[in-house]
Amino acid sequence: MDICPKCGLPKETCICGELEKSQQKIKISVAERKYRKKVTIIDGITQDTKKVAKQLKEELACGGTVKDKRIELQGEHVKKVIEKLQKLGFNKETIER
Ligand SMILES: [Zn+2]
């Protein structure tokens, strides 16, 4: 059985991951790339960044990339990204835009 190093509980019952998720400071912004293409940038997701990016891309049916801990989605999706992140367990209060 895997034990969480933070709280000492078995991994199945530990909620450290969920807690961390709800406390993460996330920043969403929109930037303009060449040819006036807009991208939505999501900073601050430090856990499962690639997995989250994949889910966002599927949900929004758009392309995107992950660089370090930054997710870039093609197009302007701020509202939808916030909704989707909430569904994934992130806390709206910690999402800055
Ligand atoms: Zn734990």
Q: Has residue 12 been placed in a domain?
A: no
Q: Has residue 49 been placed in a domain?
A: yes
CA of residue 71 to ligand 1 center, whole Å: 26
| CATH number of the domain residue 30 falls in | 3.30.780.10
Q: Has residue 76 been placed in a domain?
A: yes
Burial of 50 (0-12, 13-18, 19+ CB in 10 A): exposed
Overall domain count for the chain: 1
CA of residue 51 to ligand 1 center, whole Å: 21
Which residues constitute the domain of residue 34? 25-96
Q: Has residue 7 been placed in a domain?
A: no
List the Cα angle 60/89/93 in 5-degree steps: 95
pLDDT tens digits along 36-81: 999 999 999 988 899 999 999 999 999 999 998 899 999 999 999 9
**Entry pTM:** 0.82
CA of residue 42 to ligand 1 center, whole Å: 26
- pLDDT for the residue 44: 93
Q: Has residue 17 been placed in a domain?
A: no
- pLDDT for the residue 67: 92
Percentage of the chain with pLDDT > 70? 100
